[in-house]
Structures are given as C-alpha cells and as structure tokens.
Amino acid sequence: MIRQMSLGLLCGLVAAVACDAQPNSLTVDRAREVFGEAAALSAQDGGRHWGVELYGPILLVDRTSRRAFANTGAGDLHPSGDVYSGVLPDSVGLANTATTWAGIEWTMLLWPLPEDPFDRRSLLAHEMWHRVQDELGFPSSDPPNLHLGSRDGRVWLQLEWRALAAALSERGREKQRHLHNALAFRSRRLQIFPDAAEGERQLILHEGLAQYTGYSLSGRTPEDNRIRAVREIESMSEMPTFVRSFAYPTGAAYGL
C-alpha cells in the first residue's frame, strides 16, 4: 500500500512538473533569444528610419504570473548571466507598450509573442518605436476622436481607407489618383468635423508611425507589406468602433 501510494505520488509530481513546463513558457533562454532578435533588428535598421537606435531596455512579462525577464538590471530583478529576472509589483500596468519603471524607460512585451517571425519582428519594432517616440519629438498622445463613432465620421473614414487600399494596389498615375481621392475624402471629413483634425493627427503620429515602423522592419517584402496593409484595412469594417483603432491602418498605409 505504501509503495503504491509513493508511486502514485511520484507520478503525480512528474505530471505536475510536465504541466508547468509548457512548450512556450517564458524562460531565460527564450528571453535571451528575443533580446538578440530585437538587437539584430535594430542593428539592421541602423537608424535608417528615425536616426536613432531602436533597441534599448526591454521587459518580457508573463501576463499571468507577472514574472519578468529583462536585458538590463533594475529594481528587484536578479541576474542570470546577461538576463535579469524577477516579479513585477502590482503597481506596474501590463501591456505591450512603453513604460517607465525603476527610473528606466522600457519597451514592455507580454508573453507569449507571436510565433510567426514576421509578426514578431513587427511587434518588436512597433513597441521599440514607442520607447523612443518622445526623443523623436512625437510625444505619447491618446485623444478620444469620438467623431469617428458617428455615421459621417465612419462613412468618410472608410471611403478614405478604400482609396488608400486602391493606392496600395496600383502603380504610377493610378496610385496617385487613388491617393488624391484618399486625401480628398479625409479633407471632407475634417470639413464636417473641423475640431477633429488635431486629435486625428496626434493619434496617427502616436500609433500610426509605430505601426508603419513595424511594417517596415518586419522583414516582409514591400509587396507583401502592401498586401498585408490592404487586408488590415479590409478587416477594419468588422470593428464596432474606429475612435482609436483607425490610426493603425491609416498610419501604416500612408507610410507605405
């Protein structure tokens, strides 16, 4: 009986360890791989897009346990070779974002990251741009843009998007014609909502430039980026509101 109980207990412990060791769990080695990929992406860019190095302090955080791995020491993070780890306090909000903690401006990324290498590089570049945007003169901003929840706001925005999608799919004079239409639709929307121009501009600079940077540094071909941007625009029609989400496809499309 005792032997059977011991064997059962051992099997239970083995099963528990197997359950904890999830195939995509965040570990020191996986964190080191992400830091290396982010550094290589930044080095490949070489400041070409924004004149500054995108790579800097990064926090990789498990959203359930709040366990964090970093590429530099701070706070209560403890070194494991060239990687630092610890548990973030509850006072630190968790998101894919730029955040200030322990006196350092970080790029925070929530685990798991996208498995697709192009999507992962795009996310890395997007969030690393947020860390340096103040330095670039594009301060973080999140105006409400509530006019894009109205009928006229939604209609004229979607007309602008459709023209941008057409421009991304064409070449030469046809591209210019569709781009001219996109700007005309945008101008008409801002005639209807004259007080909205600054709010739209701020959010496009905040999220649109980050999204464009992610596209540009994803490693996809220019043609693949244009196809993906068109698909992103097309998928937006399913969104219940555009008041914040509009900036992502708009900034990426104009940038491309």
Strand-strand pairing, 83-87 and 67-70: antiparallel
Q: Which of 116, 143, 122, 152 is nearest to 204 (CA)?
A: 143
- Specify the residue for token string 């080191």: 32
Q: Does the pLDDT of residue 16 top 60, yes or no? A: no
Q: Does the pLDDT of residue 114 top 90, yes or no? A: yes
| Residue 58 burial (10 A CB sphere; 0-12, 13-18, 19+) | buried
pLDDT in tens, 35-46: 999 999 999 999
Q: Supply the pLDDT for residue 39.
A: 98
- Calpha distance 196→145 (Å, rounded): 7
Amino acid at position 134, single letter: D
Q: Supply the pLDDT for residue 22.
A: 59
Higher pLDDT, 154 or 4: 154
pLDDT in tens, 157-213: 999 999 999 999 999 999 999 999 999 999 999 999 999 999 999 999 999 999 999
Q: Does the pLDDT of residue 64 top 90, yes or no? A: yes
Q: Model confidence at 237, in pLDDT bands (50, 70, 90)? A: confident
Q: Supply the pLDDT for residue 23.
A: 61
Q: Supply the pLDDT for residue 94.
A: 98
- Calpha distance 36→119 (Å, rounded): 16
Q: Does the pLDDT of residue 20 top 80, yes or no? A: no
Asked whether the beta carbons of 111 and 63 are under 8 A apart, the reply is: yes
| Residue 72 burial (10 A CB sphere; 0-12, 13-18, 19+) | middle
* DSSP reduced 3-state for 60: strand
How confident is the model over 15-19, as a mean pLDDT? 40
Q: Which of 110, 227, 165 is nearest to 218 (CA)?
A: 227
Average pLDDT over the chain, rounded to whole?
Answer: 92
Chain mean position to CA 32:
20
- Please report, rounded to a whole number, the percentage of residues in the chain having pLDDT higher than 90: 90
Q: Supply the pLDDT for residue 238.
A: 87
